[in-house]
Chain A
């Protein structure tokens, strides 16, 4: 990934932007806005000052969030950060303690789940075990009293879309995890909702299947063109799939932005640390290094190691230390460097040397860790 041109002066310090017209517009946002502007208001979701309490616990804390129509929007965060609760509030399984929710321009704050134009794909799929796959997929049409002939036609089309026409007469327990996942998707999409909610739908699948399903999900989303709101705790998944990501922590949104924005310009230390590995350098150390007393974050892939005697270029920042650990990950090797004044810096290097060669640096080596000064993002 090539580094975007980062502003030399600190990135804007105002609170995390909540819409796509954010402070650091990038190509991704522009494309996204263009795609969705034509159908704005068709399937957007607006949360205004939403708070949800469970007894004493505040699960969602004064959240205002705006999801554009037609975008693939991820809610990313550790477990207990409130992301699933927000999804359940949008679906109508939980009622807000205060605040309001709007789906496609209609206030649904007090509406029952069956009165909302959203459908959900559950983490455990929640297929009905006593019904065949065809009956599961037809369920939404059946309870809406759609004619049998139309049901049959639409079920066939829905199964076709997820390429599972051949399992129509089986029961859910006879299907593999990946197949169940696709059936859950077909069952939700058959009702042509304006918004599809997905609660960690790939969490139960193994890594290879998950990556395959990610591509499939993205394709289906493009095909049907509706809003996807996707809950995940997997930062890689969120970066791969999303048009925009909201990073959750302790019931609040720390930052909203395109994958590139949240990865390259984390607005808080939490975001920097949750998405990938980050070298977060506090204001004190940063002042000594760069002269500016503001915390900075620099990604390990932007840190180079060099011999302790080599002079860095003028546009570079450097720290001296000792390698305390090397971690071989296959495509890369990570070097963990501790400096004399108590800083820990991780440098990641592509293993682009000959396969038979060992890494150029070893544990115990005295090294100089260097990065282009402006490649470090200021964390407000």
Chain B
């Protein structure tokens, strides 16, 4: 174990304190301001009220945005889970011509700036597909999100498959299991945690996506991030953003909790 002098320990403590303060003070400010009487965030708050919470929960536009976000994120996640897992299997288990290129093409969208992805999809949807009579509408947004969500699932599942002992599958078949039984009883349980973690990441990535969404959302459709972004421009409504932000902060504990439990279960199994 590395030994530190008392001075170093104190210095590190201070640095950690400052970093945590910068990370969490703004979040704290958001939570407090959701109860602020004043319509614009300030410090210290002018007075305490549940007024904004009530108004936020009665705001139909907000609920519509939440619904849109959940649908889009769920859709993108499902596409990502299916295609990402299939791609991971194909690239991990088989040798074929152009394998490395395919690998690169799958991973590329996550590195591509959102602006580029957005412009590209917007152009294809509005200038190519629409004149051809194909209305992608809502579904276009889901596909645009899925392109970079796939990477999350792909990377997780691929890494897990690589660590998996190939003789497990052989043992299963040797004991009489069909291909499907082997997948269901042996293979899937072993990459399930990677599958779930990849899915959670994909969902989260899509849920808070704003750049690509701006370019691909059909007219009149707001996702939650789009709605919040637009609200900020209206001074009298800004505090409702703090309310929904507070809710999101609390909700984000869920995936963090799940992923930590999965990791722990995993470590116990090793």
Residues of A in contact with B (beta carbons under 8 Å apart): 91-93, 112-114, 118-120, 122-124, 126-130, 139-140, 142-144, 171, 173, 187-188, 191
Q: Which residues of B contact A119 (CB under 8 A)?
A: 174-175
A143 touches B178 (CB 8 A): yes
Chain A residue nearest to B177 in the complex (CB): A143
Q: Which residues of B contact A114 (CB under 8 A)?
A: 173-178
Residues of B in contact with A (beta carbons under 8 Å apart): 165, 167-168, 170-178, 181, 185-186, 189-190, 269-270
Chain B residue nearest to A127 in the complex (CB): B171
B190 touches A130 (CB 8 A): yes
Task: Give A118 to B174 CA distance when docked, in angstroms.
Answer: 8
A and B contact pairs by CB, cutoff 8 A, 8 listed: A112-B173, A113-B170, A114-B173, A122-B170, A130-B190, A143-B177, A171-B269, A173-B269
Q: Which residues of B contact A113 (CB under 8 A)?
A: 170, 173-174
A120 touches B171 (CB 8 A): yes
A128 touches B269 (CB 8 A): no
A143 touches B176 (CB 8 A): yes
Instruction: Indicate which residue in A91, A118, A126 contacts B168 across the interface (CB closer than 8 Å).
Output: A126
Nearest first, the 3 closest Cβ-Cβ pairs linking A and B are: A140-B175, A126-B171, A126-B167
A114-B175, A126-B165, A139-B172 known; 4 new pairs, CB 8 Å cut-off, are A92-B173, A114-B174, A129-B190, A140-B176
Q: How far is the CB of B172 from chain A (nearest CB, A)?
A: 7
A122 touches B171 (CB 8 A): yes
Chain A residue nearest to B173 in the complex (CB): A113
Task: Give A124 to B189 CA distance when docked, in angstroms.
Answer: 19
Q: Which residues of A contact B167 (CB under 8 A)?
A: 122-124, 126
Q: Which residues of A contact B185 (CB under 8 A)?
A: 128, 139, 142-143
A130 touches B269 (CB 8 A): yes
Instruction: Indicate which residue in B175, B178, B189, B190 contacts A139 across the interface (CB closer than 8 Å).
Output: B175
Instruction: Indicate which residue in A93, A118, A128, A173 contacts B170 across the interface (CB closer than 8 Å).
Output: A93
Q: Which of B172, B174, B186 has the most CB of A within 10 A?
A: B174
Q: Which residues of B contact A171 (CB under 8 A)?
A: 269
A143 touches B175 (CB 8 A): yes
Chain B residue nearest to A115 in the complex (CB): B176
Chain B residue nearest to A139 in the complex (CB): B175
Q: How far is the CB of B101 from chain A (nearest CB, A)?
A: 22
Chain A residue nearest to B169 in the complex (CB): A126
Q: Which residues of B contact A130 (CB under 8 A)?
A: 189-190, 269
Q: Which residues of A contact B172 (CB under 8 A)?
A: 128, 139, 143
Q: Which residues of B contact A122 (CB under 8 A)?
A: 167, 170-171
Chain A residue nearest to B171 in the complex (CB): A126
B170 touches A144 (CB 8 A): no
Q: Which residues of B contact A143 (CB under 8 A)?
A: 172, 175-178, 181, 185
Task: Give A114 to B175 CA distance when docked, in angstroms.
Answer: 6
In the complex with contacts A126-B168, A130-B190, A143-B185, A91-B174 CB distance below 8 A = yes
Task: Give A119 to B171 CA distance when docked, in angstroms.
Answer: 9
Q: Which residues of B contact A139 (CB under 8 A)?
A: 172, 175, 177, 185
Q: Which of B172, B173, B190 has the most CB of A within 10 A?
A: B173
